[in-house]
């Protein structure tokens, strides 16, 4: 998964927070008093490169070894002289999000973005005319011929007589992680099938933001990109889900509402199909009883940094009946233990029992089923949120004492939001936690949040006897997967 996360952020590593490209050896530099530009050298390579092989520079690489001069200095227009630059550090105005270890100072330094400037002690302001990154050719003529790539729609492409590469226009509604799949008609072994170059267009300008090598995921555990195939049986036919995987695809982060162009450069391959889908972790099995999906910290941080607003970590819990009731009983037991611990000894049990019965509404908790339930859940969720979660679960199961109508459902979905360190750190911090319970109809398929990245950290399957619930195994799964590990 670490390799996948690194690949997801490859295009961000090409630029800083503000969208400016990182500067590499070969960038064109100018001075406000210089008569000509010069090319930035990098005597000591720091070992960090962009995808096209250019070594990145740091804020300390403004020395005379790297910047030889700008021709004639015109600070004094009546007496121009030969430029002898004496520059301070590069001022990284973009608040670079990349740090590079600099052996010259034995410490980390900021990588430099193309909007950075440096001041000469003679008063000149030195800036970049280019970043030095090598971009593939791209012009307005190609953009006009771009294939419209729509999410979830398969496109087919064959090379025309002009021999130009495939150009696709992409504009998505939702910001987040996407998968872009490639399926080749002319399968060839040996060399890499090629690369995908990504551009962003805004204010009439097209800007290169990253390159991705197309790699095969055949046999990889991350073969999570299933597609429907047409199956014909006698006189009937229909699409069957999940029988085919796209072996070639990339992970890519896209922002909603922005215009992107994909240039697919596949030497020697003259035709392929492609498809763009929002990333979503999916597990399909008819025997799933409980499942827990957890969003990764990387995803939470990315949404907080790039989308804005209050961003809480998300977890999703799926419960098949009768595990809805068992989870409810677990909450009731924790609530009762909390009430017993925090009330006077003489009245603790009766008072706690009354609170559980009246507020949560429990009437027949399985005696001793979850006797080991402790304040672990309370420390993560908060006692008042337990009341709210239990109240939302109550309509989805029926007990012998129920006289009112209940919802007869096969599975429910619980979405939990909380901070990174845990849903909440202290009791009753409701501002940092919320839960949403709803009926879920796809009982043979559980899903993570779309456009996010995370994984299923626990799946509890049918133990083989539908008439017998393994209470100890159920309790262990609830404690170690749903409660402790969703946070």
Domain 140-279 coded CATH 2.60.120.380:
yes
From 111-125, 126-140, 348-362, the region with the lowest mean pLDDT: 348-362
Among the listed ranges 157-171, 274-288, 399-413, 418-432, which one has the minimum average pLDDT value? 418-432
pLDDT digits (tens, 9 = 90+) for 79-101: 888 899 999 998 876 555 677 77
Other beta carbons less than 10 A from residue 400's beta carbon: 6
Rounded Cα gap, residues 108 and 198, in angstroms: 29
CA distance 239 to 137: 40
Decide the pairing of beta strands 259-265 and 166-170.
antiparallel
- Give the DSSP H or E segment for 325: helix 323-342
When mean pLDDT is compared across 78-92, 101-115, 224-238, 333-347, the lowest value belongs to 333-347
Tokens 């909390």 sit on residue:
338
Mean pLDDT of the chain, nearest integer? 75
Both structure tokens of 301: 């941080």
Question: What residues does each domain of the chain span?
Answer: 1-133, 140-279, 283-483
Whole-number Å distance between alpha carbons of 214 and 209? 16
pLDDT at residue number 253: 93
251-269 confidence digits (pLDDT tens): 899 999 899 999 998 877 8
Query: Which is more confident, 307 or 484?
Result: 307
In this model, does residue 358 exceed pLDDT 60? Answer: no
Pick from 294, 292, 308: which is nearest to 420 by CA?
294
For residues 253 and 163, the model is more confident at 253
- Between 408 and 71, where is the model more confident? 71
- Residues 421 and 406: their CA atoms lie apart, in Å, by 36
User: For residue 344, what are the CA distances in angstroms to 348, 435, 448?
Assistant: 5, 31, 44
Q: DSSP string of 145-189?
A: TPEEE-TT--EEEE--TT-PPEEEEE--SS-EEEEEEEEESS---
Question: In the chain, what's the furthest Cα-to-Cα distance?
Answer: 100
- pTM score over 0.75: no
Spell 16-44 as b/e; 16+ CB within 10 A means b.
beeebbbbbbbbebbbebbeebbebebee
pLDDT single digits (tens) 31-51: 999 888 888 888 777 877 776
CA angle, residues 153, 155, 156, in degrees to nearest 5 = 155
68-82, 206-220, 229-243: least confidently modelled range: 229-243
Evaluated on CA atoms 265, 271, 275, 281, the torsion sign reads negative
């Amino acid at each position: 998964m670490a390799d996948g996360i690194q690949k997801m952020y490859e295009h961000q590593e090409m630029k800083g927070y503000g969208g400016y490209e990182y500067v590499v050896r070969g960038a064109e530099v100018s001075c406000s008093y210089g008569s000509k530009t010069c090319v930035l050298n990098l005597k000591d390579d720091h070992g960090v490169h962009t995808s096209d092989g250019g070594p990145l520079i740091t804020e300390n690489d403004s020395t005379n070894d790297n910047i030889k001069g700008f021709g004639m200095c015109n600070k004094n227009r009546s007496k121009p002289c030969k430029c002898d630059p004496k520059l301070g550090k590069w001022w990284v105005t973009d608040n670079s999000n990349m740090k590079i270890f600099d052996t010259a100072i034995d410490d980390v330094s900021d990588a430099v973005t193309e909007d950075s400037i440096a001041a000469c002690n003679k008063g000149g302001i030195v800036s970049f005319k280019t970043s030095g990154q090598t971009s593939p050719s791209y012009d307005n003529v190609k953009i006009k011929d771009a294939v419209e790539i729509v999410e979830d729609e398969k496109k087919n492409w064959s090379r025309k007589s002009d021999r130009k590469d495939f150009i696709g226009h992409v504009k998505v509604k939702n910001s987040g992680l996407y998968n872009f799949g490639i399926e080749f008609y002319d399968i060839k072994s040996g060399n890499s099938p090629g690369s995908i170059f990504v551009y962003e267009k805004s204010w009439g300008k097209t800007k290169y933001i990253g390159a991705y090598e197309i790699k095969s995921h055949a046999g990889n555990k991350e073969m999570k990109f299933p597609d429907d195939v047409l199956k014909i049986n006698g006189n009937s036919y229909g699409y069957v889900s999940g029988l085919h995987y796209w072996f070639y695809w990339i992970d890519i982060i896209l922002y909603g509402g922005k215009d992107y162009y994909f240039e697919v450069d596949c030497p020697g391959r003259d035709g392929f199909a492609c498809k763009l889908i929002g990333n979503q972790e999916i597990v399909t099995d008819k025997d799933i009883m409980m499942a827990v999906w957890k969003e990764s910290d990387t995803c939470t941080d990315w949404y907080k940094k790039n989308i804005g607003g209050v961003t809480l970590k998300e977890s999703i819990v799926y419960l098949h009946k009768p595990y809805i009731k068992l989870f409810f009983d677990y909450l009731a037991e924790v609530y009762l233990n909390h009430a017993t611990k925090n009330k006077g000894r003489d009245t603790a049990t009766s008072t706690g029992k009354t609170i559980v019965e009246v507020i949560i509404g429990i009437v027949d908790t399985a005696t001793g089923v979850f006797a080991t339930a402790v304040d672990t859940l309370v420390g993560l969720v908060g006692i008042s949120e337990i009341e709210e979660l239990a109240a939302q679960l109550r309509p989805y199961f029926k007990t012998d004492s129920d006289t009112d109508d209940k919802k007869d459902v096969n599975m429910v979905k619980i979405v939990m939001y909380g901070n990174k360190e845990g849903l909440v750190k202290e009791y009753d911090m409701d501002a940092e936690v919320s839960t949403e319970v709803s009926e879920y109809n796809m009982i043979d398929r559980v899903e993570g949040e779309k456009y996010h990245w995370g994984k299923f950290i626990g799946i509890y399957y049918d133990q083989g006897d539908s008439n017998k619930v393994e209470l100890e195994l159920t309790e262990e799964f609830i404690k170690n997967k749903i409660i402790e590990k969703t946070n």
